[in-house]
Amino acid sequence: MTRRRERASRSASGNMQRPFRQPVYRYPPIAVISEDSLQAIHATALTILEEIGMKVLSDRARALYAAGGADVEAGSDRVRFGRDMLRNWLAQAPSGFTLHARDPGKTLQVGDGHVLFASVGGPAYVCDLDGGRRQGSYAEQCDFLKVVQSLNILHQEGGGPFEALDLDARTRHLDLYYAQATLLDKNWQPQGLGSAVALDAIDVAAISLGRTRDDMRDHCVFTTIINTNSPLQLDVPMAEGLITMAEHGQCNVITPFTLAGAMSPVTLPGALAQQHAEAMAGIVLAQIVSPGAPVMYGGFTSNVDMKSGAPAFGTPEYTQAAQISGQLARLLGVPFRSSNVTAANDVDAQAAYESMMSLWGAITGGANLILHAAGWLNGGLTASCEKLIIDAEMLQMMAAWCEPPRVTPETLALDAVRDVGPAGHFFGTPHTLARYETAFYQPMVSNWDNYDTWLERGRETAPVKANRIWKQILSNYEKPPLDPAVDEALNEFVARRKRCYLGERV
């Protein structure tokens, strides 16, 4: 991080941000279910894959599964998996890997006790206090990326915060990739819908890093979200995106969308057994394509509101599902992805407590990637500017919590207690004065004014302050340096590919 941007961050929040650094887990994860129950879920998933199997719509994926030893019914799209075959391919998947960024100082470790926080990816809308919820433009998308780049607690951009609806749908992904590759120097997520869109991402990343497409095979830069069509289906675009990414050494994050009561059984163990089956099927496909390819186990099991059928998020069931998903991922020995989610429509107390339920589930579930870690609102339909800032505060707090205090003679402070004695005060003591500036977490959003001061200063609530911080960060944004030749090559690539997409359809 340059000194210039460090200053900008400090000025934007009124406080120094924590430096760019991944939290490392030092407390054991919470085991919600016993080892016996975990094995029962795993065994049920194995039975699902053996007896029922997956509906695989891609010819190429079915051929790969057959070559890998799966039982592919002739003239059918059904693929079934024997237990030995599964075990052998699952054993190929690595427990962790390195994820590169344009700034080598922002290289990430995935798995092996590390966690990384990614900004929200995939909503349809954007919202802020000024304009309410609306369809977003490319300019707004770029602004969002600039703030994501500026927040040190976000280790990865999450794949486009919302759709840029002023752009042609056929080539919109190219404009996003260009923005990601040039406005950010931290890691970013691509889109995995089909082979062409995936290859475009790999090409853009390669150009931005001065590499060739082939060079990318041993240089992982992508964690690509691959959603199965629960229950038990893998569609063509997702299968082809997965295959393309695995072929090029990039990571697939297999994430079944198993909403209990809709796309999976209404009972949590059943929903998780189905999630586990679908995740294993995806992980195995990546290993067949490229043994040892980086993969992640994505857990996204939640429940529907049984009154309306709408998905609910940040519920107690969601939290348990995140923690059990972590247990299941560790059983397979692969890194685990979870999320920070809420169904709230406003950046109010509900948004915060549902987000906290999911964040605590993810962190104590041992998640290695927390997607949508900042900015998700409205069940994932909307990216919120204020929620991005408030989530960043929560993430900073969680990161600080992940660092246990060091217990040493200096921190046990027996001499300070002796010096102060009963009924004294520690404010002005040498022990305090030597440490007070860095002793505690300094908030970005939280207002700790006493009530009268808070009134005098205008009764600012958390979303209003977050709106102000958003604007300060945006106005202080500085584009990370980029070789003009690389920028030119990226522009040429995007222009050429746009001609291909538009030409195909003219």
Subset of residues 19 to 38 that bind a second copy, contact rule: CB under 8 A? 27-28, 30-33, 37
Q: Which is nearer to a second copy, 45 or 329 (CB)?
A: 45
Would you count residue 445 as binding a second copy (CB under 8 A)? Answer: yes
- # binding residues, a second copy (CB under 8 A): 120
Q: Pick from 7, 459, 496, 499: which binds a second copy (CB under 8 A)?
A: 459
Token couple for 218: 């041993």
Three-state secondary-structure class, residue 342: coil
Would you count residue 95 as binding a second copy (CB under 8 A)? Answer: no
Three-state secondary-structure class, residue 369: strand
Touching a second copy, residues 400-439 (CB under 8 A): 400-401, 404-408, 410-414, 416-418, 420-427, 431-432, 435-437, 439
Q: Which is nearer to a second copy, 194 or 269 (CB)?
A: 269
Touching a second copy, residues 232-271 (CB under 8 A): 232-233, 260-270
Three-state secondary-structure class, residue 18: coil
CA angle in degrees (0–180, nearest 5) for 287-371-10: 135
Would you count residue 458 as binding a second copy (CB under 8 A)? Answer: no
Token couple for 194: 């089909």
Q: Which is nearer to a second copy, 108 or 273 (CB)?
A: 273
Strand partners, 119: 374
DSSP assignment of 200-269 equals HHHHHHHHHTT--TGGGGGS---EEEE---SSSEE-HHHHHHHHHHHHTTPEEEE----EETTTB-SSHH
CA torsion, points 166, 167, 172, 174, in degrees to nearest 10?
A: -120
Q: Pick from 349, 495, 500, 502: which binds a second copy (CB under 8 A)?
A: 349
Q: Pick from 191, 303, 339, 467: which binds a second copy (CB under 8 A)?
A: 303
Structural Rg of the chain based on CA atoms: 24
Touching a second copy, residues 204-233 (CB under 8 A): 229, 231-233
CB of 57 to a second copy, least distance (A): 9
Q: Which is nearer to a second copy, 348 or 483 (CB)?
A: 348
DSSP class of 76 = S
Q: Pick from 75, 448, 458, 506: which binds a second copy (CB under 8 A)?
A: 448
CB of 436 to a second copy, least distance (A): 4
- Answer for the pair 182, 103: CB distance below 8 angstroms, yes or no: no
DSSP class of 164 = B
Q: Please choose, from the candidates 132, 111, 313, 138, the residue with its C-alpha nearest in 3D space to the C-alpha of residue 223.
A: 111
Give the per-residue contact string, 116-145, with a second copy (x = CB under 8 A; - = no).
Answer: -----------------x------------
